Structure 1
């Protein structure tokens, strides 16, 4: 896999500063270098308001890696990573999946031209990994695209990964319809892995603060959903153990060494499979 990036790809002009970017905020939290001062300032504001917010983003990514590892280990060899965001130098979906199942094929989707260009620069020598421009909330069009159909065999199970963007989707009807579309269009045995920021029943104040700070710094709305609403997104799927849980509790790699900070209770994730 090449890590060569086209000269001049990252500039303040292409990133449309001074608005912080969700992709770059995540990159900053994960210790990446593709972020700017304003992204780190946004992350710091979120961390100040919700201690542990940086760790929440890291824990969600670690959960994503564990999910891919688990699914590849149980024989899933096709992955559709929706709204995938900025790729990293290591521990991307294709790297994890192909480490545990060398036959694994991965398709990343995004609608952001810059992120697509960056991803293609990183993946130009991986024949089992593809980048597709497409709206993850329009499964009929996405799954009907020639590029995706040439990369994945839709007659066989596919793992759909929606592990970063659910809290960015404000329209419940469109989100539910999209998930129902994937369930109906994909082969039996297909998988949905989904994570989101949640609204604990005992603390509705913290989610509102995070929503406001995110909007102030990134110019985009997010929504922390109550856990029962997240549970309903898995309608038609059989949840794998341990169910819909805080991301750090979904088959952790080891015992927790420190008490969970405030923001950690907001991240939930689950994995469901179709009959």
Structure 2
């Protein structure tokens, strides 16, 4: 079965090279090729504002991969990757999940025209992968989308992955309402994997410089929450071990080979399960 493609996904192939893009900044940090000088300059500014910021973005991607692998090995076979960003050369969600289970189904969502155009490649040779243009803060619309309802059995557990976009949603009420919507609409056993830039618990690094630099470079809001604020986003989900922790501490693949740089303390992540 080939999953349907949203018919208007590819209608607008425009992007602004003069303003840094969040997706392209991450691509630059991950040593991708789909970024411009503006994005690389923004990344340098962010590294200057918070030493190790590039490492933070890489740690976030590595955490995402570990989460998908962890869930796939435990039988989860439906993954909804929200605000997915640009695909990477390897270890995208569908590649990671389908290494464990070739029948695992993955749907990527985004609203960024550049991201959507690049995600098209994921559909060319993978019958169990699809991409949908949708606002991830509108779960009722997204889960009712024909592509989603065709691909997924929504009576069975779904993994909702929100691993890059939380810090770009400054409105707690709207974000919390969206997450409550996913929780209400999905069956028990579904999980929420969420990470966010967070205020550090100790001294030595401040998120304010990141927020100012990001907004000046990308013209997009960004907000570092407190750890307590991030934990509140899991309302109605039971956090699985090891709980809400720094990304590099969530079931690492091995011992750290070097001490984390200051900016790597500016993100936390966790996975919560809907029990009933």
2:54 maps to which residue? 54
Report if aligned partners of 2:50, 2:205 keep a CA contact under 8 Å in 1.
Answer: no
2-structure distance, mates of 1:202, 1:274: 32
2:164 maps to which residue? 164
2:115 maps to which residue? 115
The answer for unaligned runs of 5 or more in structure 1 is: 1-8
2:195 maps to which residue? 195
2-structure distance, mates of 1:179, 1:24: 26
Report if aligned partners of 2:122, 2:129 keep a CA contact under 8 Å in 1.
Answer: no
For residues 46-90 of structure 1, give each alpha carbon's deviation from its aligned partner in whole angstroms, at most 9, with x where no partner exists. 111111110000001000000000000000000000000101221
2-structure distance, mates of 1:210, 1:125: 39
2:236 maps to which residue? 236
Match status 1:258 vs 2:269 = no
1-structure distance, mates of 2:203, 2:232: 21
Q: How far apart are 1:259 and its partner, in Å? A: 1.0
CA RMSD of aligned residues (A): 1.4
Q: Comparing 200-209 with 231-240, which one deviates more in the overlay? A: 200-209
2:87 maps to which residue? 87
2:149 maps to which residue? 149
The answer for unaligned runs of 5 or more in structure 2 is: 1-9
Q: Comparing 85-94 with 201-210, which one deviates more in the overlay? A: 201-210
1:219 maps to which residue? 219
1-structure distance, mates of 2:61, 2:191: 18
2-structure distance, mates of 1:268, 1:174: 20
Q: How far apart are 1:17 and its partner, in Å? A: 2.1
2-structure distance, mates of 1:259, 1:171: 34
For residues 159-204 of structure 1, give each alpha carbon's deviation from its aligned partner in whole angstroms, at most 9, with x where no partner exists. 0000000000011000000000000000110000000100124449
SS at match of 1:130: strand
1:35 maps to which residue? 35
TM-score with structure 2 length normalisation?
Answer: 0.93
1:77 maps to which residue? 77
2:3 maps to which residue? none
For residues 83-110 of structure 1, give each alpha carbon's deviation from its aligned partner in whole angstroms, at most 9, with x where no partner exists. 0010122110000000011220000001
2-structure distance, mates of 1:121, 1:94: 12
Match status 1:25 vs 2:25 = yes
Q: How far apart are 1:206 and its partner, in Å? A: 1.4
Q: How far apart are 1:153 and its partner, in Å? A: 0.8
2-structure distance, mates of 1:205, 1:30: 23
SS at match of 1:268: strand
SS at match of 1:206: coil
SS at match of 1:71: helix
